[in-house]
Amino acid sequence: MTRDTARDQRQGGRATRRSVLGAAVLGAGAAGLGAAAPAAYADGRRGNGDDLPVPTVIAHRGASGYRPEHTLGSYQLALDMGAHVVEQDLVPTKDGHLVCRHENDITGTTDVAAHPEFAGRRTTKTVDGVSYTGWFTEDFTLAELKTLRATERIPGTRQENTLYDGRWTIPTFEEVLRWAETEGRRRGRRVWLHVETKHPTYFRKLGLGLEEPLARLLKKYGRHRASSPNFLQSFEPGSIQRLARLVDAPLVVLLSGAATRPWDFAEAGDPRTVADLITPRGLQWIAGFAQGIGPTLDLVIPKDATGKLLAPTTLVRDAHRERLVLHPYTLRNENSFLPLDFRKGTDPNAYGDVFGAYAAYLATGIDGIFTDQPDTGLLAAADFRSAGRRVNG
């Protein structure tokens, strides 16, 4: 195979993946997107009937506003509520299994501190330049992790969730894939997943690369194709580039604060920051290997020094010009997580005017949104689509 032939095949694969994502995956319900949406989203095509509506409601770590995050209980409730997509974050065990935790530090999300047999595993590590003291998945075999029980990560904010402390174990990603298969058969439709590789450079240095075992599992369950019902995401573009060589599934580059630098860039001496990646040139570069971006909501609508929303940026328009899907994160119901404009009362844990916040963010033309409370997000998305149909006659 010549170099030009290989390049053309890679480009063809990316084009096919983006076409499937735009026309078949996100073609439904695009009337509410307005002029900012790319043509593939606005033409009304529904594909094979399993399409995701726009805006897409993504259950952040499951229904984490109501159950301890990244448990089968949280995933099940999200699906039962009607979430369009359910998110998993992946970290490895010592023996190479992929498990669902937001971080490899499991101090605050399990009862590990109550297990005297693991007291000696408590240690201090530097992960992506930040020091943590606690217990870490890479120091446990899967069998050892399965002796632990999941707990609520922010009990001070979500005291009700502590009712479920100890009810579920840490799920493996393969258990989630089997769960999705079972639920898909039961419901007669595909169960969509949004899967993140966590700290991939850090783990690769430990000999625990994430992308290869993830690709093997996706192929085992037939979820490696361009039309597969999952998105693969990472804050490290290099991880997404590696996945692009392994599978054809839709890929999403996550983007944090504008001044931050992806950790793989920092390790490689690449000076670019997120601010560089959200320029038209940076988005064009991302579009060369990914089909979407997952920016923090502040990159869509920034806040002033008091926490009030300012005018939207041009990110949605610029990304859509590159035919990139936008799935920003994360909208939550509690005052402490909302822009100042939408807080109600003085209790940081009370619910604010989250529907007003949804209306502001969805009006920018984003294609979906991560939320801890998918039931709220579904109502807001339905309101938005309904209003869009009325406006567009």
pLDDT given for residue 148 in this prediction: 98
- Model pLDDT for residues 109-141, shown as the tens digit of each residue: 999 999 999 999 999 999 999 999 999 999 999
Residue 166, amino acid: G
- Model pLDDT for residues 149-200, shown as the tens digit of each residue: 999 999 999 999 999 999 999 999 999 999 999 999 999 999 999 999 999 9
pLDDT band at 393 (very low <50, low <70, confident <90, very high): very low
- How far apart are alpha carbons 13 and 371 in whole angstroms? 31
pLDDT band at 19 (very low <50, low <70, confident <90, very high): low
Nearest Cα to 191, choosing from 203, 178, 208, 172? Answer: 178
- How far apart are alpha carbons 25 and 247 in whole angstroms? 17
Residue 240: count of CB within 10 angstroms of its CB: 25
pLDDT given for residue 2 in this prediction: 42
- How far apart are alpha carbons 70 and 100 in whole angstroms? 6
- Model pLDDT for residues 277-295, shown as the tens digit of each residue: 999 999 999 999 999 999 9
Rounded (10°) CA dihedral 201, 238, 74, 187: -140
Q: Do the Cβ atoms of 253 and 286 come closer than 8 Å? A: yes
- Token duo for residue 331: 């909208």
pLDDT given for residue 388 in this prediction: 77
**Average pLDDT of every residue of the chain:** 89
Q: Average the pLDDT over 219-226 and give the result.
A: 98
Of all helices (H) and strands (E), which one includes residue 87? strand 85-92
> Which residue has tokens 């979906």?
368
Give the torsion sign (CA, 117, 119, 124, 126): positive
End-to-end CA distance of the chain: 52
pLDDT band at 101 (very low <50, low <70, confident <90, very high): very high
pLDDT given for residue 18 in this prediction: 54
**DSSP per-residue codes, 44-81:** ---TTTTPPPSSEEEETTTTTTTS-SSSHHHHHHHHHH
pLDDT band at 13 (very low <50, low <70, confident <90, very high): low
pLDDT given for residue 7 in this prediction: 40
Please check the confidence at residue 49 and state whether its pLDDT lies above 90: no
- Model pLDDT for residues 312-371, shown as the tens digit of each residue: 999 999 999 999 999 999 999 999 999 999 999 999 999 999 999 999 999 999 999 999
Domains of the chain: 3-391 (3.20.20.190)
Q: Do the Cβ atoms of 221 and 181 come closer than 8 Å? A: yes
Please check the confidence at residue 33 and state whether its pLDDT lies above 80: no
More confidently predicted of 15 and 100: 100
